Amino acid sequence: MRSENIYGEFGICDGLMSLAAEAEASLRDRFLKIDSDLEYNQLKVVKAMQDCGVSEACMLETTGYGYNDIGRDKLEEVYARIFRTEDALVRSQIICGTHALTVALSGNLRPGDEILSPVGLPYDTIQKVIGISDARGSLKEYGISFNCVDLKPDGSFDYDGIRAALNDRTRLIEIQRSRGYSARRTFSVKEIGDLIGFIKGIKPDVIVLVDNCYGEYTEHMEPSEVGADMVVGSLIKNPGGGIAPVGGYIAGTESCVGNAAARLSGPGLEKELGPSLGNNRLLYQGTFLAPQVTASALKGACFASFIYNSLGFDVSPEPLEDRHDIIQAITLGDPEKVISFCRGIQAAAAVDAFVRPEPSPMPGYDSDIIMADGCFISGSSIELSADGPLREPYTVFFQGGLTYAHSKLGVLMSAQALINDGLIKL
């Protein structure tokens, strides 16, 4: 059976299939570049695992306190090698990216310190962690303040504004690599390195934390290789390869990681405690597969960009533009289109395809959110997924796809849903 025929079984019309063929022909060179990056990153991961002496014994589980968990400790060595850092904290006990950032921030800040974001306001959930939005237990309640410098209208860094904002209380710089729910673009590792160099030239002792979520393995280098003291992320995004069932990581200097570990477990306990509970094999397999899965998601994002750009919508990044994360932003300009898009993505899922997403309040957000999330791992946004806030300009954020074929199907079914609902025409 030819693939064109089986797409018909999902209700994809001939017009969309013709557009898909045009997209793949136009993206051929872009896909080859993604494959080249994949090869480099895959070998980097294999080399790290070999150099650290990963063995079958590392797959065994521990319980209780988790003393002498060699698999856990070895995995943290692997992450330190991959990210070119002194140390790493990689734990199932870290629930999500927001939790990892909370641990990193609270472990390295003290009352009277100030956080500075040189890239504008951070993601919605981090605003509550910091205390920009009211939330119980925020850093603001502990006497930690926050300041930010907006990007210039053209999206570049406001170096004069950053210089003026740095002061004696500035203890930590928080750089969000990905766009979050904003219109601004994602930053490349080189751009982040230039920014860090500028800031450290003024205040050498400041801690630089990079929220690396969605960006891992999209380039040859990570922000930790260009001056970041900590890079932080979630294992149910890129670095877990769609296999890790839970977890997060903090990779960086020994001091910063140690401070974070003391906050996660407890003063004096730090990295010594934390049982793997049988997750080690999944975390290792996910780490191994992460470059391949990330490359599939990148191809899916390029495909989505081409399709929706061809349908007349504003897309960011554009189809042939260099990418530094897996997120594709599509501005649909209408709440009904956002809802229809997400329902099309959900209908393409292998799990819970029959579910009908509805906008609703979610913890950490100030707007109703709609989320398509038919995943093997709940909330795993390296899997085929899409979400967005129901607020102007009504942009939906598409990401993930453990395989390119599944990502492609999701994009086509989202467009078909819009057609079927009478919201767009081919």
Question: What's the pLDDT tens digit per position in 105-160?
Answer: 999 999 999 999 999 999 888 999 999 988 999 999 999 999 999 999 999 999 99
pLDDT per residue as tens digits for the range 227-270: 999 999 999 999 999 999 999 999 999 999 999 999 999 999 99
| 250 shares its domain with 202 | yes
- Kindly list the distances between the CA atom of residue 86 and the CA atoms of 80, 95, 253, in Å, as whole numbers in the listed order: 6, 23, 5
Tokens of 51: 């150099």
Is 96 inside any structural domain? Answer: yes
Q: What's the CATH code of the domain at 193?
A: 3.40.640.10
CB-neighbour burial class of residue 3 (10 A; exposed 0-12, middle 13-18, buried 19+): exposed
Q: Across 223-321, where does the E strand assignment appear?
A: 230-234, 248-252, 314-316
Same domain for 313 and 185? no
Q: Answer yes or no: is 307 within a domain.
A: yes
Are 106 and 94 in contact by the 8 Å Cβ rule? The answer is no
Do 168 and 273 lie in one domain? The reply is yes
Task: Identify the pLDDT of residue 284.
Answer: 98
What is the per-residue pLDDT for 1? 44
Whether residue 160 is found in the same domain as residue 34 = no
pLDDT at 14: 96
Domain match, 390 and 264 both:
no
Asked if residue 166 lies in contact with residue 116, where contact means CB atoms within 8 angstroms, the answer is yes
Report, as ranges of residue numbers, the positions in the chain whose pLDDT lies below 50.
1
Same structural domain for residues 256 and 371? Answer: no
Q: What gap in Å lies between CA 198 and CA 163, rounded to an integer?
A: 9
Alpha carbons within 13 angstroms on the beta-carbon side of residue 6 total 6
pLDDT at 251: 98
Task: Tell me: do 200 and 105 sit in the same domain.
Answer: yes
Indicate the number of domains in the chain. Answer: 2
Query: Which one, of 384, 413, 377, lies nearest residue 399 by Cα?
Result: 384
Boundary (domain end) residue, out of 239, 267, 287:
287
What CATH number is associated with residue 381? Answer: 3.90.1150.60
Is the N-terminal amide bond of 359 cis, ω within 30° of 0? no
Supply the pLDDT for residue 2. 58
Instruction: Indicate if 378 and 401 belong to the same structural domain.
Output: yes
DSSP β-ladder status, 395-399 and 385-389: antiparallel
- pLDDT confidence of residue 366: 75
Does the residue 257 lie in any domain?
yes
**CA-CA distance, 359 to 93, in Å (whole number)?**
29
Residue 3 pLDDT: 58
Pairwise CA distance, residues 360 & 353, whole Å: 19
Q: Are residues 35 and 138 located together in one domain of the fold?
A: no
Residues 185 and 86 in one domain: yes
Write out the residue range of the structural domain in which residue 366 sits. Answer: 3-42+291-420
Considering the domain architecture, whether residues 212 and 354 belong to the same structural domain is answered as: no
Domain termination residue (choose one: 271, 287, 303)? 287
pLDDT at 407: 98
C-alpha distances (whole Å) from 318 to each of 185, 293, 303, 307, 330 are 11, 21, 10, 10, 10
The verdict on residue 48 lying in a domain is no
Instruction: Please indicate, yes or no, whether residues 150 and 211 belong to a single structural domain of this protein.
Output: yes
